[in-house]
Amino acid sequence: MLLPDFITRHVLFAMVFGGVAGIGFMVFLIEFDHYTSSEAFCTTCHSMELAAEPYRQSSHYLPVSGVRASCGDCHVSPGVFAATWDHFVGGKDLFRQIFGADYDDPVINALHLPEAAFSARDWFRRNDSHTCRRCHEQEAIVGKRADTLEIHQQDAKDKTCVDCHINLVHRPVPERATYKRDAWNRMVEQQFGLEAGSAERLLAE
């Protein structure tokens, strides 16, 4: 076998090792993204268990078709590099989980939920709802009612999925523009039997 002169034994060794290591790294990333996108991984933080409760009642968890969307199917971008980046950025949530407010407390969690929802919606809009489009092909949305197809092809043409479809999975939160913090606080207080004004105190802590 004839090899160019510069392919010395060491170079050959480095190429083979590098190649195998590279493949191994990619496999690791894929497996890492896959595992860290799973419901089992996400809910290892108790705060995420609170987000998962309504999810398990939703049509994305219990669809007629049986096609179940996991956390990452919606919240992690397609593509291994984008997915890895999303997990890297998501690391700030882990930081906050450890050093931030006590999100494991259902009251604190509910009080902070609107901001989490707004930021998730921003992310969906920024990405033209690309994770929705993993499964839902706008051209193919026929629906059960006569005009669903027409609406999705005409009126929704320049819109992104979350412009119309929000509050499908998690606890409903109004859109940011018309959301009222005061009303939200009172609702949480009422839900947990807290006295009026305690929400503001808890948020300030």
Partner 1 sequence: MPPNLRCLLVVLSLLSGTAWGAKVSLTPDNWGHPAGEDCVSCHTKSSAGIAGQWKESAHARAGVNCMDCHQAEVGDADAITHEGQTIATVVSPKDCGRCHTTEMEQQRGSVHAEAVAVIAERMPAMVNNVAGPAIEAAGCAQCHGSEVNLMANGKLDPNTWPNSGIGRINPDGSRGSCSSCHGRHLFSKAQAREPQACVRCHSGPDSPDKEVFEASKHGMAFMANREKMNLDGETWVAGKDYSAAPTCATCHMGAAGKLPSTHDVGMRNAWNLNTPVSERQYLVVFDDGGKRELPESMSAPRPGSRVPKLDGTEAAVKMVATPQRRRDAMTLVCRECHGKDFANAFMTQFDEVVHLYNEKFGKPAQAIMQDLYSQKKLTPAPFDEPIEFTYWELWHDEGARARHGASMASPNHAWWEGMYVVGRNFYSRFLPQVREVAGSDAAGILERHLGSVEQHQWLKAPEKGSPILGVGNPRGGNE
For the bound state, the minimum distance from the C-beta of residue 77 to partner 1, rounded and expressed in Å, comes to: 25
Based on the shown chain and the rule CB under 8 A, indicate whether residue 126 belongs to the binding site for partner 1.
no
Nearest to partner 1 of 37, 160 (CB atom): 160
CA–CA distance, 171 with 58 (Å, rounded to integer): 10
For the bound state, the minimum distance from the C-beta of residue 186 to partner 1, rounded and expressed in Å, comes to: 7
Provide the b/e sequence for 162-188 (b: ≥16 CB within 10 Å). beeebeebbeebeeeeeeeeeebbeeb
Based on the shown chain and the rule CB under 8 A, indicate whether residue 178 belongs to the binding site for partner 1.
yes
Based on the shown chain and the rule CB under 8 A, indicate whether residue 7 belongs to the binding site for partner 1.
no
Nearest to partner 1 of 57, 154 (CB atom): 154
Based on the shown chain and the rule CB under 8 A, indicate whether residue 151 belongs to the binding site for partner 1.
yes
Separation in Å, CA 10 to CA 4, 5, 20, 37, 44: 13, 12, 15, 39, 45
Nearest to partner 1 of 83, 188 (CB atom): 188
Closest CA relative to residue 172, chosen from 4, 52, 54: 54
For the bound state, the minimum distance from the C-beta of residue 128 to partner 1, rounded and expressed in Å, comes to: 16
Based on the shown chain and the rule CB under 8 A, indicate whether residue 41 belongs to the binding site for partner 1.
no
- Of the candidates 19, 24, 100, 172, which one interacts with partner 1 according to CB under 8 A? 172
Instruction: Answer yes or no: are the C-beta atoms of 58 and 69 closer than 8 Å.
Output: no
Residues near 81 by beta carbon (within 8 Å), at least 6 away in sequence: none
Based on the shown chain and the rule CB under 8 A, indicate whether residue 57 belongs to the binding site for partner 1.
no
Instruction: Answer yes or no: are the C-beta atoms of 171 and 54 closer than 8 Å.
Output: yes
Nearest to partner 1 of 67, 177 (CB atom): 177
Residues that bind partner 1 (CB under 8 A): 145-147, 150-151, 154-155, 159, 163-164, 167, 171-180, 183-184, 186-188
